[in-house]
Amino acid sequence: MRSYRFAQICPSVKRYLFDAYSCQGRLDIALAIMDGKLDYTPRLLDIIYKCTLCGACDVMCKRCVDLEPLLILEALRIKWVQEKGELAPAHNKLVENVKTTKNIYGEVVKKNFEQLYSRIQLERANILYFVGCSAYKHPEIVRATVEILSKSGTRFMMTPEEWCCGNPMYSIGKIDLAKELMDHNLNVIRELGVKMVVTSCAACYKTLKVDYPKLLGKSTEDLGFKVLHVVELLDQLVRDGRLKFRRVDMRVTYHDPCQLGRLSEPWIHWEGKRKKYGILEPPKKFRRGTYGVYDPPRNIIKSIPGIELVEMERIKENAWCCGAGGGVKQAFPDFAQWTATERLEEAKTTGAENIITACPFCKENLEDAIKAKKEKMKVYDITELIAQALEG
């Protein structure tokens, strides 16, 4: 904590200033529901879903006591859907889109992706580039990723058979639909026989690497293939000398996506009992957010001549969420924009010209905040920056 202005880490608490909107408040609500002391109400839906599931509370709690608040927040939404069967209208639209077109944006966007895919003739390879729904809406990220991988000599493939990774469905509590999407994607990946799945979307990355094994009752290492965000692969390619950069004069700050940072540590399956004083038997290895994907994007940015990286106060596992996750962007756009504006104000204090991130959701939400505030700052996905800086 470097200043009073940017001392807080939970967007929901800072925005609504009431205990029910805090992690502790929601845990109290979950317990009251389990004990039959609280019933489902429209106001309760508001409280449960005005949370980006960014994992900040999870990281904070584990500095003091080893609890799993994020798992409880996820389970609370699943329980809500299973017992109440009710969602916000915007979330119902997401569900409808996924059921009919297998992506959250609808058929038109899917057709746009298929047109893009048809122009890329790639043979089978051991690496699958999993595009993801959010990148459908941002084809510039797909084009930049394909260009970079191609210029580096990396053999990879894509498939129009991929469906939504399931992140939005899992986030809003539609667990059965999330499992259906997972089963399809895992079948496609295994039929292709790839050894590695690479994505440029932080949400897809976290879902494939963490949520799939969680839903399967397995650990990440048991998936049968490796999951990488493209920055992890590109960081290695830069160190191997397979990517060369020209000079790009720009002062930038980097925004850590929650699902690439504190939420991205491998899932470690655990079965056991919680005994007196919270002692676990057998002992459990906790995911604390410390070992998220923090260095690779920064290494890449620093390797581009002319780029000056200036950090915000809240970074890495302590980063402030962009505001788009957990279904908030769709159901509560005002809250999402407020959260992004808070991040924008923090970015401005660095004196940076532009913001770099590695998640299409973050890029879009931060761009919306910039437009609303009529700021001159721009947001680039890191793949766009790399493609701009590539030699040749």
Residue 198 has pLDDT above 90, yes or no: yes
Segment 147-188, tens digit of pLDDT: 999 999 999 999 889 999 999 999 999 999 999 999 999 999
Q: In angstroms, rounded to a whole number, what is the distance separating the alpha carbons of residues 289 and 268?
A: 13
User: Is residue 122's pLDDT more than 60?
Assistant: no
CA-to-CA separations, 145 to 25, 118, 162, 384, in angstroms, rounded:
41, 16, 17, 8
**Among residues of the chain, what percentage have pLDDT more than 90?**
85
Please give the structure tokens belonging to residue 346. Answer: 């923090």
pLDDT tier, 66 (very low <50, low <70, confident <90, very high otherwise) = confident
Q: Of 232, 235, 215, which Cα lies nearest the Cα of 223?
A: 215
The predicted pLDDT at position 36 comes to 92
> Each residue of 224-250: pLDDT tens digit?
999 999 999 999 999 999 999 999 999
Given the structure tokens 């780029």, which residue do they identify?
307
Q: Write out the residue range of the structural domain in which residue 128 sits.
A: 89-239
Whether the per-residue pLDDT at 119 is higher than 80: the answer is: no
336 has pLDDT over 90:
yes
In a domain, 160, yes or no: yes
Mean pLDDT within 365-374? 97
Classify residue 203 as exposed, middle or buried by CB count within 10 Å of its CB (0-12, 13-18, 19+). buried
Mean per-residue pLDDT for 69-87? 94
Question: Given the structure tokens 């990723």, which residue do they identify?
Answer: 145
Q: Is residue 157 part of a domain?
A: yes
Give residue 67's pLDDT band: very low, low, confident or very high (50, 70, 90). Answer: confident
Q: DSSP E strands: which ranges in the chain?
A: 127-130, 196-199, 226-229, 250-254, 273-274, 280-281, 307-309, 354-357, 378-381
Number of helices (H) and strands (E) in the chain: give both, helices first. Answer: 19, 9
Q: Is residue 171 part of a domain?
A: yes
pLDDT higher than threshold 60 for residue 197? yes
Check which CATH number belongs to the domain holding 135 and give it: 3.40.50
Indicate the Cα dihedral angle 75, 81, 87, 93, nearest 10°. 100
Is 29 within a domain? no
| Residue 207 is assigned to a structural domain of this protein | yes
CA 8/CA 57 separation, integer angstroms: 11
- Residue 19: count of CB within 10 angstroms of its CB: 12
Residue 386 lies in a domain: no
The pLDDT value recorded for residue 113 is: 62
Residue 258: predicted pLDDT: 98
Residue 134: closest CA among 121, 126, 145: 145
Residue 121 pLDDT more than 60?
no
Write the burial class of residue 178 (CB in 10 Å: 0-12 exposed, 13-18 middle, 19+ buried): buried
The pLDDT, as a whole number, for residue 44 is 93
363 falls within a domain = no
Count of the separate structural domains present in the chain: 1
Residue 98 binned pLDDT confidence (cut-offs 50, 70, 90): very high
pTM, two decimal places: 0.95
143, part of any domain: yes
